[in-house]
Structure 1
Amino acid sequence: MITKGERTSARLVESMLELIQARGYSGTGLNTVVEHSGAPKGSLYFHFPEGKEALGERAVELAADQFRTLFAETVGDAASPGELLRRVVDVLIGLLADSDFQLGCPVSVVALEMGAHSERLRTACAAAFESWIGPVTDYLVGRGHPRPTARTLATTVVSGLEGAMIVSRAQRDVEALRSAAQVFGDLLDQPPAGIAKENS
């Protein structure tokens, strides 16, 4: 059973995540987080005595969990890697469109703003990206790719989608994401090298 304190802590983290997406890490003050969350005054330092960095770290971890959940839920009935990717991109496009291009990836936001200033937050962002690259790698290995190739593809796709999100947000147009889905989808749908050689 979830306790009242756990619910309050979760609300603070969720608010921090939403505000980072909309305003950036530097533009998000702790008073704003408390106000946005509706949590009791004084609760933030009770649950996060180490302050903003600790809350930001938890927000990055929540973002990583959300994407992993999206990936896991989409894998099940996707007919091909390309279809899986296109479904994930459709969700990202919906996020941008529904927010009028105000919400981006909070992990990339924190990495860009704080990666050179906070080792704690840089490490959290690195772990978040790895938590996405790892499952994609495992998925591609399951589709017949050698692990080194799968790792390279997974890293390229995750990095490419992050860049496409930033470009789409800046241009207020989802063309960059749609282009990434098409190019990476076609790439992922090519048969693994070993299978291609066997069929040649």
Structure 2
Amino acid sequence: MDTKSLIIDITTTLFQQKGYKGVGLNEILKVCNISKGSFYHHFPNGKEEALIACLQSMSEAITSDIEDIFNRYPTTEEATKKMIEKVIGIFEREGTITSCTISSIVSEMESLSDQVRHTCSDLYIKMQRIYSAKLAADGFSKETANSIAVMMNASIEGAIMLCLTQNSSEPLTVISNLLPKLLKKV
């Protein structure tokens, strides 16, 4: 693994665990075992530039995973249930779901730049497009599919935050049982 990829990989984990504000440059340097010069060679604009690279990497991983699940199952209902079950499994195995969301970073948005805000927004938009396309394939109008996709995203992300704060997979279990049923009734 090259140095830049190593920095992105390790820093992503640190940001997921501690949030952007909770991770200092010295900690990144120490955990990555690199010099300040090496860090700034790859990220001349500093820690925020590294954050953007981490968010882009997370976005690729998260959307790829969602696309894979939504391509494997014939309906939005089945795909949504399987996706949420996967997240529950991760939570129950690891005790966290930080690899499935950027919520810990988004919660610090007021102190971050418009570029970071835009990068985060892009991930949510990509997720909603995957949901919306599947809903449209299920026969929903484009407008309805887009609206339901926003509701799905908000429900799933909210449930993830509740799981993390309650240290329980129950909120995702509730969403896993309820959300697919709602998709039938709409």
Q: TM-score, normalised by structure 2?
A: 0.89
In 2, are the aligned partners of 1:141 and 1:150 still within 8 Å (CA)? yes
1:81 corresponds to which of 60, 76, 79: 76
Shift of 1:102: 7.0
CA pair 117-103 structure 1, distance change in 2 beyond 3 A: closer
CA contact (8 A) 1:115 1:122 kept: no
Which of 57, 67, 71 is residue 72 of structure 1 equivalent to? 67
Structure 1 residue 160 and structure 2 residue 155: aligned? yes
Structure 2: gaps (5+ residues): none
Q: 1:38 to 1:95 in 2, by over 3 A?
A: farther
For residue 150 of structure 1, what is the aligned residue in structure 2? 145
Q: Which one-letter code corresponds to 2:124 in the other structure?
A: F
Deviations 1:147-178 (A, max 9, x none): 11000111110111111001011111101001
Q: Distance in 1 between matches of 2:175 and 2:60?
A: 23
Q: In terms of Rg, which structure is larger?
A: 1
Q: Given that residues 137 and 147 in structure 1 are in contact (C-alpha distance below 8 angstroms), is that contact kept between their aligned partners in structure 2? A: yes
- Deviations 1:74-133, CA, capped at 9 Å, x for gaps: 123314212211211122223322332373655222221124542221111111111111
The farther-off stretch of 147-156 and 85-94 is: 85-94
C-alpha change, 1:187 and 1:56, in structure 2 (3 Å) is: same
**Cα shift at 1:189:** 3.5
Match of 1:175 in 2: 170
Q: What does residue range 1-200 of structure 1 map to in structure 2 within 5 Å?
A: 7-39=2-34, 42-101=37-96, 103=98, 105-190=100-185
Contact 1:133/1:158 (8 A) holds in 2: yes
Q: Aligned equivalents of 2:121 and 2:52: distance in 1?
A: 11
Whole-Å separation in 2 of the counterparts to 1:180 and 1:123:
27
* Closer, same or farther: CA 142–115 of 1 in aligned 2, 3 Å: farther
Q: 1:95 to 1:32 in 2, by over 3 A?
A: farther
From the superposition, tell whether residues 103 and 189 of structure 1 become closer, same or farther in structure 2 (CA, over 3 Å): same
**SS at 1:110 equivalent:** helix
Whether the aligned pair in 2 keeps the contact of 1:64 and 1:128 (CA below 8 Å) is yes
CA–CA distance in 2 between the matches of 1:142 and 1:75? 11
AA aligned opposite 1:90: E
* Distance in 1, Cα, partners of 2:90 & 2:65: 13
| Percent of aligned pairs sharing the same letter | 23
| Partner Cα distance (1:38, 1:155) in 2 | 41
Deviations 1:33-86 (A, max 9, x none): 233334455321100000111111111111111111111211233142122112
Contact 2:128 2:153 in 1 (8 A): yes
